[in-house]
Amino acid sequence: QAAYVLDHESGTVLLAKQADVALPPASMSKLMTLFLAFEALRDGRLRWDERLPVSTHAMSYGGSTMCLDTTDRITVEDLIRGIIVLSGNDACVVLAEGISGTEEAFVARMNAEAKKLGMTNSTFGTSNGWPDEGRTQVTAKDLAKLAVSTIRDYPDLYRKFYQQKEFSWGKTMGKGENIVQANRNPILGRVPGADGLKTGHTAEAGYGFTGSAEQ
């Protein structure tokens, strides 16, 4: 329905199809949550080993989950991996509340950052992209701006996290074996130089993908 392909080095637009049409992005909106988490880590407002509590609100979302529980205390580093690899809706809220106190306050920060990055046709209503009666709308061009900003502003963190192909979290029932899940990024290990970023899917949004490869 919409597409935008950009050469990062030159800024040349290789493909633009309804690139300025605002659409529900599903989990691709988590790119902004991660961008703000990287910012908080850089500024010292979060620590890698800081353990954040899981609220009942964080567990209220359906869809993709990190399978958290209110008895858990999760490190920031594990939450970031849980968002990138597992696409955990619950992990997003835990991180949002850890940064801003409430998800609502964090969403206000997401929208302020979007304006700062020049994402002029996008608005966020949740930290994770769960359907919210149309409040969250993002364009393909704006997702490219967010991807470019992530790669440019946080290159070390980008390389550390977005290329991770799998993540182990939780135990199976019965035998208690580690649960290992693969990154849902369809180009990692398949397209030369692929290094990110995020898939998205809901019944409302359909399928979406924001990807990057260095060649």
- Helical segments of the chain, H only: 30-43, 76-84, 89-100, 103-116, 140-153, 155-161
**Is 160 noted as a catalytic residue in this protein?**
no
Of 55, 60, 64, 87, which is the active-site residue? 87
**Is 29 noted as a catalytic residue in this protein?**
no
Distance, CA of 53 to CA of 73 (rounded, Å): 5
Distance, CA of 17 to CA of 105 (rounded, Å): 33
Distance, CA of 16 to CA of 2 (rounded, Å): 8
Among candidates 105, 104, 144, which has minimal Cα distance to 121? Answer: 144
Of 29, 30, 145, 212, which is the active-site residue? 30
Distance, CA of 113 to CA of 6 (rounded, Å): 21
Exposure on the CB side of residue 69, measured as CA atoms within 13 A: 5
Strand, coil or helix: what is 142? helix
Of 27, 64, 100, 122, which is the active-site residue? 27
Distance, CA of 142 to CA of 146 (rounded, Å): 6
Write out the catalytic residue numbers.
27, 30, 87
